[in-house]
Structure 1
């Protein structure tokens, strides 16, 4: 598959997403530490809620990375920064106030990284926007956390510098600031009314949505290089999705979805993978290329319709919420493992 400028851009976004995940892990570790060190009940309560958000958001970031489908390692400089800050947080060199102050700066870095990925996605492709969509929730909540951390820093800083409590009204100002920047939608998000993890239906549906966008991008483009790029992403996404379903999902649902219906899903994906390999050998500037992609899209559309109607209904009727969420976790892990294998195979063939 041809390497294009946008391939480079996609890889750059993948690296930034890896940076975001690494930093999110540090934020979670810091907040766990703060809960052990805090002696203020109000501040402890705020860190406890912040930790719940950040643990949930770590899962969302991991989902986005798998949806994006281009596994990457964080930048070396970011890894070094995280290691250094982690050591400082665990040590006694910094006061509690100084640790929280540094944490607020890290949260600002995370906010800007999330916004940067969002803006970059708009320049690369609609499929990238679809893949990173869940990151918007993380961005909203991190921005709200920033406002909370400013209040915490003010309280702790005044105490450290003067030995006295800050003026009253800090937390009211914090809530006003959150409402001012987020508006109605942002406020709903930052209040964290839905802490449910994604279930298997959610994660599979995200895959389906992204694939539909890629099919549309191929159909609308007349640039052979862009078509090749979009198909390259489609090939990786469909392959990883199909193999992960066959490894994790279909064996789990066979008992209650039925042998015949489950086997039909396997057969459809076998035909899909056969077509993918056939299209890969066709010149993207040939009319036959789009014709075969259209055939593939028809098969995938029928497959998606079956999964999202009858298979999803069977899952809802036979698996508990916890079981469905656990299946999503296993599916994402399998997909990531397959994506990493595909990336290594691509690198090997390019040499």
Structure 2
């Protein structure tokens, strides 16, 4: 496979898992009755849907018709089965969602770095991924707070300290500030 073909395949994998993230967010929203968590998931879901368009734009600009790898498709199916099944607790499902966000962030960052190393045209073509990568990173911070809440409730049967949301919000604000500085 050529370098560009590898990049195109990774873009297809990225798109596939963006759809998996959208599906997971919808399932997790249905699984929680906590209005604060549901509100945060709604924001992530809206962002994920917008980011799917950005991924599709990058794929189009690269001129790719590549398909995701078989192993990636199997992984996506397995994630769907885990999210639909009863083997995982709600905490486990949120944890898997956060792990997928991390995977998506790192894949996007690597794709961008690979495009940079190949040529300027590819770098420009995958530019829409910068927004996706930064937003996925911010989503990880939100999900970290969700994990604290869901995990404390599930493991201790108690409500966590509400000051936690404030520190999560501060972390997100700091991340957005860093993103704003980096893009200017």
TM-score bracket relative to the smaller structure:
over 0.9
Residue 42 (1) aligns with residue 54 (2)? no
Please tell me whether Structure 1 or Structure 2 has the larger radius of gyration of its CA atoms. 1
Call closer, same or farther: CA 1:59–1:92 in 2, change over 3 Å: same
Paired with 2:25 and 2:68, the residues of 1 have a C-alpha distance of: 22
Q: TM-score if structure 2 supplies the norm length?
A: 0.94
Equivalent residue for 1:331? none
SS in 1 for 2:131: helix
- Contact conserved, 1:20 with 1:113, CA < 8 A, in 2? yes
Equivalent residue for 2:97? 103
Q: TM-score if structure 1 supplies the norm length?
A: 0.50
Paired with 1:175 and 1:9, the residues of 2 have a C-alpha distance of: 40
Equivalent residue for 1:157? 151
SS in 1 for 2:2: helix
2:56 to 53, 56, 62: 62
- Contact conserved, 2:108 with 2:129, CA < 8 A, in 1? yes
Equivalent residue for 1:30? 24
Paired with 1:184 and 1:112, the residues of 2 have a C-alpha distance of: 18
- Contact conserved, 2:134 with 2:179, CA < 8 A, in 1? no
Residue 160 of structure 1: how far off its partner (Å): 0.5
| Structure 1 unaligned blocks of 5 or more | 1-6, 190-351
Call closer, same or farther: CA 1:155–1:186 in 2, change over 3 Å: farther
- Contact conserved, 2:21 with 2:97, CA < 8 A, in 1? yes
1:199-278 equivalence runs, <5 A: none
Residue 143 (1) aligns with residue 146 (2)? no
Paired with 1:185 and 1:83, the residues of 2 have a C-alpha distance of: 33
Q: In the comparison of the two structures, how many residue pairs are matched?
A: 182
Equivalent residue for 2:14? 20
- Contact conserved, 1:140 with 1:186, CA < 8 A, in 2? no
Paired with 1:125 and 1:15, the residues of 2 have a C-alpha distance of: 17
Runs of 4+, deviation exceeding 6 Å: none
Equivalent residue for 1:179? 173
SS in 2 for 1:167: coil
- Contact conserved, 2:7 with 2:111, CA < 8 A, in 1? yes
Paired with 1:183 and 1:172, the residues of 2 have a C-alpha distance of: 16
Equivalent residue for 1:53? 47
Residue 184 of structure 1: how far off its partner (Å): 5.0
Paired with 2:112 and 2:50, the residues of 1 have a C-alpha distance of: 19
- Contact conserved, 1:17 with 1:65, CA < 8 A, in 2? yes
Paired with 1:133 and 1:73, the residues of 2 have a C-alpha distance of: 20
Q: Deviations over 1:99-132 (max 9, x none)?
A: 0111000000000001001111111000001101
| Structure 2 unaligned blocks of 5 or more | none
- Contact conserved, 2:142 with 2:168, CA < 8 A, in 1? yes
Call closer, same or farther: CA 1:150–1:186 in 2, change over 3 Å: farther
Residue 127 (1) aligns with residue 152 (2)? no
